[in-house]
Amino acid sequence: MISVFEYLLELEKEDDSHLGRILVLLNVFAGIEGKKEIKGLTKLAKLDFLLRYPVYLERAMKKVHQNPERVKIKEYEKKNVESKMVRFKYGPWDFRYRRFINELVGRGLVYIRPEGRSIYLGVTDNGRKIFEALQNDPWHDDIISRAKIINSNFNKSGTNLMKFIYATFPEIGSLKYGTKI
């Protein structure tokens, strides 16, 4: 019999949940017409941090004087260990982001647009179709709702998001680089 801990470790190895979450973020930030982009992996990582850790999102909502109850955290999420990030130079990070983005690009769901030293991440028409299907599945309601909350309250530059996260969650800044959050 597999323990809950072993099951959660296996979930962490499964990329589909991470790919889906990133696709949701990119779609929500793309706007109604689906044309807006997220500038850089740093910004994506900070947005994903808030989406992955609803307890931190709830605290962030309090910091910006918004109703934290909108996050609607379920009891089992309060000590979620399913998707760990690490403390990195520019804040929370997952070393698999490049692989995740490359996989989404390879599947034709996301595109990368380089501009100078920056990259912009956006969704393709196929990525929008997948997102529309996810919106019709109640299983994804919480993550889509939280992504919308993040978009309406934390759509800042990557640098400003990093500063906000370190100011709001000082315990993250005190961790050594590479330490799991």
Higher pLDDT, 44 or 171: 44
* 179 inside domain: no
Number of domains in the chain: 1
Confidence category of residue 15, pLDDT binned at 50, 70, 90: confident
Better-scored residue on pLDDT, 113 or 176: 113
Distance separating alpha carbons of residues 162 and 68, to the nearest angstrom: 20
Instruction: Tell me if 111 is assigned to some domain.
Output: yes
In a domain, 112, yes or no: yes
| pLDDT tier for residue 143 given thresholds of 50, 70 and 90 | very high
Domain that includes residue 160, residue range: 4-173
pLDDT on residue 9: 47
Residue 162 neighbours by CB distance under 10 Å: 19
Averaged pLDDT score across all residues of the chain: 87
> How far is Cα 101 from Cα 112, in angstroms, rounded to an integer?
9
* 12 belongs to a structural domain: yes
Task: Report residue 50 as tokens.
Answer: 């808030």
Residue 2 has pLDDT above 60, yes or no: no
Residue 93 pLDDT: 76
- Contact between 77 and 86 under an 8 Å Cβ cutoff? The reply is no
